[in-house]
């Protein structure tokens, strides 16, 4: 199948949406937890979380403020300046998926999807108790993407909760040990299996791939 720009543009909306959302491969599956200034909690699934830097520790994700679910998350982050990013594990993947439903502003996805609010120290935003790998984030910057109405949310990591058995002495996190899942498209989920780990890549250490493939 070869789809050029015009064919993609002319493709039926739902089919086009599924193709373009799947074409980038497996994406991280995360729940973003927020709370409004008047204490209403919100939980929404996102597949756009990305690493932006390690010093300072910056994480970003893309949000659509013009969509109802995205608007609740966006408004809460702007109001309070804090939010959480919680990895999704196979034990609650179905519950996590249904946080994308269009609940009313006063309805909490935690309650509707039978997930548990959890709080640490004096951090205001709710974590997902069922998640074992999660981040407490402070809003640093928002960058509008005018072409499609999305916004890049940039936050700094204030808390990182990581299972002891999933991280090695060098800081490498094994997501398969944490039973993480990934997303393809909008509603298809995959288990993550570790298949290899290689040393830091340097030209002088390059394996002889040509010889291997003879």
Give pLDDT tens digits for 4-33. Answer: 889 888 899 888 888 887 887 889 999 999
Residue carrying the six token digits 């009313």: 104
Q: What's the pLDDT band for 138 if we cut at 50, 70, 90?
A: very high
Percent of the chain with pLDDT over 90: 62
> pTM to 2 decimals?
0.91
Where do the DSSP E strands lie in the chain?
Answer: 27-28, 30-35, 41-46, 50-54, 57-63, 82-87, 117-118, 127-128, 134-145, 150-161, 181-184, 188-191
Q: What is the pLDDT of residues 82-132, one digit of tens each?
A: 999 999 999 999 999 999 998 988 899 999 999 999 999 889 999 999 999
Residue 70 has pLDDT above 80, yes or no: no
Distance between CA atoms of 38 and 105, rounded to whole angstroms?
12
Identify the CA nearest to 100 among candidates 62, 48, 44: 44
For domain 26-194, the CATH superfamily is Electron Transport, Fmn-binding Protein; Chain A (2.30.110.10)
Residue 136 has pLDDT above 70, yes or no: yes
């Amino acid at each position: 199948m070869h789809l050029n720009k015009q064919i993609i543009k002319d493709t039926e909306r739902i089919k086009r949406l599924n193709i373009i959302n799947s074409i980038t491969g497996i994406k991280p599956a995360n729940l973003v937890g927020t709370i409004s200034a008047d204490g209403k909690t919100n939980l929404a699934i996102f597949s756009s979380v990305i690493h932006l830097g390690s010093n300072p520790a910056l994480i970003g994700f893309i949000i659509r403020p013009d969509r109802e679910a995205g608007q609740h998350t966006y408004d809460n982050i702007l109001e309070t300046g804090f939010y959480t990013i919680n990895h999704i594990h196979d034990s609650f993947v179905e519950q996590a998926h249904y946080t994308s439903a269009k609940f009313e502003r006063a309805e909490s996805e935690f309650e509707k999807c039978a997930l548990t609010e959890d709080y640490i120290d004096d951090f205001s935003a709710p974590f997902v108790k069922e998640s074992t790998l999660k981040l407490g984030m402070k809003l640093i910057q928002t960058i509008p993407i005018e072409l499609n109405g999305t916004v890049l949310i940039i936050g700094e990591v204030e808390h990182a909760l990581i299972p002891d058995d999933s991280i090695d002495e060098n800081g490498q996190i094994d997501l398969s040990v944490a039973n993480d899942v990934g997303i393809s498209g909008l509603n298809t989920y995959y288990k993550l299996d570790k298949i290899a780990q290689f040393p830091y890549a340097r030209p002088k250490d390059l394996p002889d791939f040509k010889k291997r493939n003879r």
